[in-house]
Amino acid sequence: MTLSLITIVRNHAAGFRRTARSVLDHAPDNAEWVVIDGASTDGTGAAIAAVAPRIATHVSEPDRGIADAFNKGVARASGDYVLFLNAGDCLAPGAAFSLARLLDTHRGAPVIVGRIELAGRRHGRSAPFWRQYLHNQLPHQAMLIRRDLFATFGTYDRTRHFGMDYEWSLRLCPVWRQIVFVNELLTIMEPGGTSIANAGKTLTAYHHARVQHFGMAPLSLAVLLSYQAKRLALRPFKPALNAVRARRLAPG
């Protein structure tokens, strides 16, 4: 089984350099690397050029947002599986061995889901579909997605600015029981991503995706309101929680 790593970037030269270093150090030697740059103007082009020999395919042009960039990556990938590694996100140490072994052990699985680390906490574990309906359980940057699924279920919805990966995951309901979940750290995710920085809009996007696929608008609205209430209740404690996490991540 072959693997395509897809990195999308726009005006994030420092993040791309971190991602590039992790690909050079921790990606399987035979993994294809596809880089989609949204016509950056901040020096990202120079960062890409510095690692050009490792890149299989590279495009730099304006796009219509994250979903459009994802789709451009899928269209240019040739691997049996794809893994989205956005600029700023890094492969975990040991990922080269883990990725090669997982693809060999679980060849043919529609999706192989590992774990990500974000701000010192690990995310991603086995979940039934009803939990995915309630809230996104899939760490997108630790999902090995069989590339032919995009022909079966379609590509990411370019009209969505938030939650496009969640909406796409809901299409996997017919094959959910075939998804393989593994307790292995594959990716270290950069804090402050689009979905995290826009948590309220992301939760609303999840609601619209649930209604689009399953109807039951009152039930989905109840789910949305419960998560919004939880965010509101935790807001006063967020500085203390962030301080605890910062101490946990501090060297030594």
pLDDT at 69 over 70: yes
Q: What is the mean pLDDT of residues 39-48?
A: 95
CA distance 88 to 67: 17
pLDDT at 156 over 70: yes
Q: What is the mean pLDDT of residues 153-164?
A: 95
The band of 121, judged by pLDDT with boundaries at 50, 70 and 90, is confident
pLDDT at 242 over 60: no
How confident is the model at residue 245, as a pLDDT? 52
Percentage of residues in the chain with pLDDT exceeding 70? 92
pLDDT at 241 over 60: no
Alpha carbons within 13 angstroms on the beta-carbon side of residue 162 total 17
SS3 sequence of the chain: CCEEEEEEECCCHHHHHHHHHHHHHHCCCCCEEEEEECCCCCCHHHHHHHCHHHCCEEEECCCCCHHHHHHHHHHHCCCCEEEECCCCCEECCCHHHHHHHHHHHCCCCCEEEEEEEECCEEECCCCCHHHHHHCCCCCHHHEEEECCHHHHHCCCCCCCCCCHHHHHHHCCHHHHHHCEEEEEEEEECCCCCHHHHCHHHHHHHHHHHHHHHHCCHHHHHHHHHHHHHHHHHHHHHHHHHHHHHHHHHCCC
Give whole-number Cα distances, 244 to 124, 145, 194, in Å: 21, 34, 23
How confident is the model at residue 198, as a pLDDT? 80
- pLDDT tens, 167-190? 999 999 999 999 999 999 999 998
CA distance 53 to 220: 47
How confident is the model at residue 194, as a pLDDT? 73
Dihedrals φ, ψ of 246, to 5°? -65, -40
How confident is the model at residue 233, as a pLDDT? 82
Is the Cβ–Cβ distance between 9 and 38 less than 8 Å? yes
How confident is the model at residue 129, as a pLDDT? 97
How confident is the model at residue 13, as a pLDDT? 96
- pLDDT tens, 72-116? 999 999 999 999 999 999 999 999 999 999 999 999 999 999 999
How confident is the model at residue 251, as a pLDDT? 46
